[in-house]
Structure 1
């Protein structure tokens, strides 16, 4: 039970599940209310722990926000690396990677909403770290498109960087209009997005 105590966390509040509870509570509140309008006290109340417990795992609210960014980036980067390293036709792998980006964004919609709404609130060094990770993802995805261009299965008259940037721009806006529980599931939406990307990449 949360007592509002700012002191050190008790033994029961240093259990493995506490960081996950704090992160889940922060994710929900940041997505619903916004990062800047959510207090540390509201996060610990929602997680059912004390401030001492939170500060045992996260030194600040900024740490919670950064952890949310890292969670989504790490997941999507790992999955993209698997598609890039897999065997099989490059067109199939690009389509699978493109669909997966949409699917994982929808599956982690609160993370995605927070990602693009609150990044400016991170410290400068953490913003730089996030941009570096995003650039790595972009370069990997672009590299797959370039592989398809070299193989002659994708059109070469459009720069791969432009194609990748256009696709990511569309995906980044999903959180503004997508509603869970609607007609389109994450996999279905991912398939539509990926098919549109591939249609634009195929030679005439």
Structure 2
């Protein structure tokens, strides 16, 4: 049975509102001072609610960390299908999925780093919840890779390995943002990453298609985002 964060409040809209306040505050505090050094009282103060009120929406601090991490993987689950649904060509779908994944990481850089740093702090049932959700979203990427292999755009590759190469490359934008954001914009990073990731797996028959996609993505040099 999958672990669920329970609330004694029955108003779904209010639960969503309060949990967003809690998650935003917790992300800031967990990132700056760590999970163990952060208290519920500090989270409540930054969220603008009483510490007693938090326990109406979560059971304990681990639930708060779980919600922070789920916000990222749930964003993958929303954004990736939306990004690929309008594309019919497998290579276009693959590129769209990678771009969407990178943009979700950019929007949740702090929580992405926390996932690497603090997932081990969760109880086993909570870790399993995160892992299962991650596998579900990674299956979207694996699916578009498989489509590209079947279509003949990609040579036969280990789909699992390529899926996680894509995931790790996207995560690196957050994990090493202190460096990348001084030399590249997000669009630049995506363009270079796609070139490195996909050129190694493209079948010769897909070169022309890839050249068309990469040409459309190419942009004039720009100042790095800060």
TM-score by length of 1: 0.83
1:129 aligns with 129
Structure 2: how far apart are the matches of 1:21 and 1:133? 22
Structure 2: how far apart are the matches of 1:132 and 1:55? 26
Structure 2: how far apart are the matches of 1:103 and 1:87? 18
| Count of paired positions | 191
Moved more, 116-125 or 177-186: 177-186
Q: 1:95 to 1:87 in 2, by over 3 A?
A: closer
Q: Which runs of 4+ in 1 moved over 6 A?
A: none
Q: Point out where structure 1 has 5 or more consecutive residues left out of the alignment.
A: 1-13
Structure 2: how far apart are the matches of 1:196 and 1:99? 14
1:46 aligns with 46
Structure 1: how far apart are the matches of 2:172 and 2:36? 21
Find the residue that maps to 1:56 and give its secondary structure: coil
Structure 2: how far apart are the matches of 1:42 and 1:87? 45
Does residue 107 (structure 1) correspond to residue 107 (structure 2)? The answer is yes
RCO comparison, higher one (Cα < 8 Å, 6+): 1
* 2:41–2:51 contact (8 Å) kept in structure 1: yes
Q: Point out where structure 2 has 5 or more consecutive residues left out of the alignment.
A: 1-13, 205-226
2:90 aligns with 90
1:30 aligns with 30
1:159 aligns with 158
| Cα RMSD, aligned residues only | 2.3
Q: Following superposition of structure 1 onto structure 2, how do residues 51-66 of structure 1 map, counting pairs within 5 Å?
A: 51-66=51-66
**How many angstroms does 1:15 deviate by?**
8.6
**How many angstroms does 1:181 deviate by?**
5.9
Find the residue that maps to 1:182 and give its secondary structure: helix
* 1:155–1:201 contact (8 Å) kept in structure 2: yes
Q: 1:16 to 1:203 in 2, by over 3 A?
A: closer
Moved more, 174-183 or 125-134: 174-183
Q: Deviations over 1:122-175 (max 9, x none)?
A: 11111111111111122221121111111101111x222221122222333333
Q: 1:61 to 1:141 in 2, by over 3 A?
A: same
